């Protein structure tokens, strides 16, 4: 029957259709093969590699920090970090459970790690920084149990001088979420180490270097099969070294001789370059304890300690400058023409001065008698300087103190620095106390470095550097840098050389002549010039100050030191011998030849020689 299944013509047509369909299918398969093999091969090969390869960061060593003589203040030592590769949350939790005992992971830290993994699930999770050799050996000996754990050799920071350099060097730590969100940390990843304080933070971009990358091969379960090492061109690049003007020996000396159990600080500057030679704050802490993450109990003890060991008292503390301020009054009075070196006041010092219904006392209750300016500086007479303040006047004093930068920071190259505090106008008093809440007698306290006057060690050192050299002082800086050495403040003392020399002579008398308030701490080989200060405070015994420079007529060092509550009544000042010993050691280290007659004023010698 035609058209049936047995029709040969129909079978031929169906055969040709099936053959065509089969041929089309074969063409499609061939095209897919060609496309996969030749056109998309690289992409799928890359996807395959990405599925089986995991990148592991190779940390760069931070740059070494050296003192002025090439000794390491901060360097690196080999260390190991233990991390978990990305994976399912359950796998991460199980890995932490297996590591908990050996790595001493507290429940609180384990919870913190799980939270970090939740926030960044596609990044390796650093479980332990600076792991011990025993901990690393434990992992490697049981590698089948810890196939998700990577061991990365990481150079870890070391501070050989420990607590002696803590406040200037700072410390490093793991970058936090707040820092990761900042534009200047855009190239950083979670788990990396950054400078947290001091020079480590200030020069982070210079010290950090650039991390490298190595790869490990993993299977379908995400466990490590083999380590493929560092990819070509992805080696880490060390950070740049940093050279300081700091003398490490002087730092260690300051740490060893600072009065035990006391608080305070000392800073010393080379007035010719602005380089900071010493920057020490006490009490202090060991920055090595922060490496690898500081234990919470230690952090809490440092943060809550009543003596505030984390506080840098050189840059972040204000103190009434006490009698060290009398040189500021002298310089301002000479500039305005209200004072000369031979000025005598109407009222000799009899132990106090009455003004506006109140008696303002001198520190010497029996009084100093009749003095000129040079003698008033030598004996630190309060009554003389009360009258100097009255001559200058409150308005002019406020104006001139602002010109000299006592309401500004010094500009040192550290992340944080507090400004000096000094009223800038009568309106300042009106705003603080109300128009009827203060009196003209405010000039009395200001004149002797008390009242609404609080300065840092750096601002006082800066002023004395100007007095020592006659030039605008260079902004203090820790890094040895030609550009930093050119940054001067925008003010000068505006004194004649004769006036400046007269004030230097007076400071020489303070230290080197009997009756001077620092006579007991004079140097045997060089002439130290300076001023003591006893700053009253409402929280206990007076603070002890000393600010000075040496050699007096060719200064190589300017120093400012304070010991809180360091000058009880009828007791020696603790700041003066501290500063004196540091100055003596520095001049000795410089190899400076001893003076033939230390303590003798050069201007006096010149007058004798010329018959003047």
pLDDT tens digits for range 164-204:
999 999 999 888 888 988 998 988 887 788 999 999 999 99
> Which of 344, 550, 535 has its CA nearest to residue 457?
535
Confidence tier at 28 by pLDDT (50, 70, 90): confident
The confidence score (pLDDT) of residue 225 equals 53
Residue 215 has pLDDT above 70, yes or no: no
Computed from CA positions of residues 337, 342, 348, 350, in that sequence, does the dihedral angle turn out positive or negative? Answer: positive
Q: How does residue 609 score in pLDDT terms, banded at 50, 70 and 90?
A: very low
Which whole number is the average pLDDT over 532-541?
A: 86
Distance CA(536)–CA(531), nearest Å, equals 16
Q: What value does the mean pLDDT take over residues 519-533?
A: 95
pLDDT value of position 423: 94
Q: What is the mean pLDDT of residues 324-339?
A: 97
> How many CB atoms lie under 10 A from the CB of residue 178?
8
Pairwise pLDDT comparison (195 vs 30), residue with the higher score: 195
Domains 53-243 and 250-610 share a fold: no
Is the pLDDT at 158 greater than 90? The verdict is yes
Query: Who has greater pLDDT, 33 or 95?
Result: 95
Alpha carbon distance 504, 121 (integer Å): 66
Cis amide linkage into residue 283, ω under 30° from 0: yes
Residue predicted with more confidence, 549 or 88: 549
Q: What is the mean pLDDT of the chain?
A: 87
- Cα–Cα distances (Å) from 159 to 39, 68, 163, 544, in that order, read 56, 16, 9, 30
440-to-282, 358, 401 alpha-carbon distances in Å: 37, 12, 17
Averaged pLDDT for residues 467-477: 96
- If you average pLDDT over residues 115-138, what whole number do you get? 82
Please tell me the distance from the alpha carbon of residue 444 to that of residue 421, in angstroms, as a whole number.
Answer: 17
Q: What is the pTM of this model?
A: 0.83
Q: What confidence tens digit (pLDDT) does each residue in 252-277 have?
A: 999 999 999 999 999 999 999 999 99
Confidence of residue 93 (pLDDT cuts 50, 70, 90): confident
Alpha-carbon distance 217 to 232, whole Å? 16
- 161 vs 209, which has greater pLDDT? 161
Pick left, alpha or beta for residue 491 (phi over 0 → left; psi -120 to 50 → alpha; otherwise beta).
beta
Return the DSSP state at 488.
Answer: B
Residue 608: what pLDDT? 30
**Two structure tokens written together for 235:** 């080696």
Q: What does the block give as tokens for 86?
A: 């990305």
In this predicted structure, what is the pLDDT of residue 6? 59
Structurally, what CATH architecture does the domain formed by 53-243 represent? Alpha-Beta Complex (3.90)
Query: Where exactly are the structural domains of the chain?
Result: 53-243, 250-610
User: pLDDT tens digits for 335-367?
Assistant: 999 999 999 999 999 999 999 889 999 999 999
| pLDDT for position 261 | 93
Residue 223 is predicted with a pLDDT of 55
The mean pLDDT of 575-596, rounded to a whole number, is 96
Instruction: State residue 44's pLDDT score.
Output: 43
Q: Find the mean pLDDT for residues 27-56.
A: 57
Q: Is the pLDDT of residue 498 over 80?
A: yes
Burial class (CB in 10 A: 0-12, 13-18, 19+), 231: middle
Q: Which of 159, 161, 160, 157 is nearest to 250 (CA)?
A: 161
**What is the pLDDT, as a whole number, of residue 428?**
93
Between 374 and 148, residue with greater pLDDT: 374
Residue 226 or 170, more confident = 170
pLDDT band at 528 (very low <50, low <70, confident <90, very high): very high
Whether 56 shows a pLDDT value over 80: the answer reads: no
Q: Say which residues have a Cβ less than 8 Å from residue 492's Cβ, sequence separation at least 6.
A: 466, 471, 472
Closest CA to 561 of 588, 528, 592, 538: 528
pLDDT band, residue 246 (cuts 50/70/90)? very high
* pLDDT of 482 over the 80 cut: yes
611, pLDDT greater than 70: no
Residue-level pLDDT at 567: 87
Where in 146-199 does DSSP place strands (E)? 149-158, 171-174, 193-197
CA distance 207 to 204: 5
Calculate mean pLDDT across residues 372-378: 96
Residue 52 is predicted with a pLDDT of 61
What is the C-alpha R_g of the chain? 36
Asked if the model's pLDDT at residue 604 lies above 50, the reply is no
Quote the DSSP letter at residue 593. Answer: P
Residue 1 confidence class, pLDDT cut points 50, 70, 90? very low
- Mean pLDDT along residues 43-59: 56
Dihedral sign of CA atoms 245, 249, 250, 254 in order: positive
Higher pLDDT, 232 or 172: 172
Tell me which of 3.10.20.30, 3.40.710.10, 3.90.950.10, 3.40.50.2020 is the CATH number of domain 250-610. Answer: 3.40.710.10
Which of the pair, 52 or 371, is modelled with greater confidence?
A: 371
* Beta carbons of 570 and 273 less than 8 angstroms apart: no
Answer with the residue of higher pLDDT: 571 or 512. 512
511 pLDDT higher than 90: yes
pLDDT of residue 115 exceeding 90: no
Confidence of residue 139 (pLDDT cuts 50, 70, 90): confident
pLDDT at 49: 45
pLDDT at position 283: 97
3-state secondary structure of 277: strand
């Amino acid at each position: 029957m035609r058209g049936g299944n047995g029709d040969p013509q129909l079978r031929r047509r169906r055969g040709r259709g099936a053959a065509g369909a089969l041929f089309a299918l074969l063409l499609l398969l061939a095209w897919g093969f060609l496309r996969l093999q030749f056109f998309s091969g690289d992409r799928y090969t890359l996807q395959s590699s990405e599925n089986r390869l995991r990148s592991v960061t190779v940390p760069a060593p931070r740059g070494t920090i050296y003192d002025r003589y090439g000794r390491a203040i901060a360097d690196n030592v080999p260390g190991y970090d233990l991390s978990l590769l990305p994976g399912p949350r359950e796998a991460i939790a199980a890995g932490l459970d297996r590591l908990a005992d050996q790595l001493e992971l507290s429940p609180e830290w384990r919870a913190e790690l799980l939270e970090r993994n939740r926030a960044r699930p596609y990044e390796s999770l650093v479980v332990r920084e600076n792991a011990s050799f025993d901990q690393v050996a434990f992992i490697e000996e049981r590698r089948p149990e810890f196939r998700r754990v990577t061991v990365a050799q990481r150079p870890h920071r070391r501070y050989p001088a420990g607590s002696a350099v803590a406040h200037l060097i700072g410390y490093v730590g793991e970058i936090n979420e707040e820092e990761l969100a900042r534009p200047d940390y855009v190239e950083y990843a979670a788990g990396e180490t950054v400078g947290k304080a001091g020079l480590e933070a200030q020069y982070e971009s210079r010290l950090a270097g650039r991390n490298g990358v190595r790869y490990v091969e993993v299977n379908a379960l995400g466990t490590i099969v083999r380590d493929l090492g560092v990819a070509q061109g992805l080696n880490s690049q060390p950070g740049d070294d940093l050279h300081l003007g700091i003398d490490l020996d002087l730092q260690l000396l300051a740490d060893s001789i600072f009065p035990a159990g006391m608080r305070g600080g000392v800073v010393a500057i080379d007035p010719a370059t602005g380089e900071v030679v010493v920057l020490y704050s006490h009490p202090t802490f060991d920055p090595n304890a922060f490496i690898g993450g500081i234990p919470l109990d230690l952090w809490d003890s440092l943060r809550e300690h009543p003596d505030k060991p984390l506080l840098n008292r050189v840059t972040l503390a204000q103190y009434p400058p006490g009698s060290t301020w009398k040189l500021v009054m002298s310089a301002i009075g000479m500039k305005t023409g209200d004072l000369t070196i031979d000025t005598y006041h109407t009222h000799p010092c009899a132990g106090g001065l009455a003004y506006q219904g109140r008696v303002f006392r001198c520190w010497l209750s029996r009084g100093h008698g009749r003095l000129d300016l040079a003698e008033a500086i030598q004996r630190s007479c309060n009554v003389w300087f009360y009258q100097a303040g009255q001559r200058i006047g409150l308005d002019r004093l406020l104006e001139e103190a602002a010109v000299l930068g006592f309401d500004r920071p010094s500009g040192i190259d550290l992340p944080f620095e507090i400004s000096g505090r000094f009223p800038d106008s009568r309106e300042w008093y009106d705003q603080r106390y109300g128009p009827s809440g203060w009196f003209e007698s405010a000039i009395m306290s200001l004149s002797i470095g008390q009242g609404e006057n609080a300065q840092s060690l750096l601002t006082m050192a800066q002023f004395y550097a100007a007095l020592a050299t006659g030039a605008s002082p260079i902004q203090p800086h820790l890094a040895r840098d030609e550009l930093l050495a050119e940054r001067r403040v925008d003010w000068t003392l505006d004194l004649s050389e004769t006036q400046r020399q007269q004030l230097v002579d007076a400071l020489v008398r303070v230290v080197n002549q009997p009756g001077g308030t620092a006579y007991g701490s004079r140097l045997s080989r060089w002439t130290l010039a300076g001023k003591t200060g006893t700053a009253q405070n409402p929280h206990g015994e007076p603070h002890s100050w000393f600010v000075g420079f040496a050699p007096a007529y060719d200064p190589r060092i300017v120093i400012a030191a304070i010991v809180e509550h360091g000058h009880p009544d009828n007791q020696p000042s603790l700041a003066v011998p501290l500063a004196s010993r540091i100055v003596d050691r520095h001049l000795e280290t410089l190899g400076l030849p001893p003076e033939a007659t230390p303590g003798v004023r050069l201007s006096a010698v010149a007058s004798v020689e010329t018959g003047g």
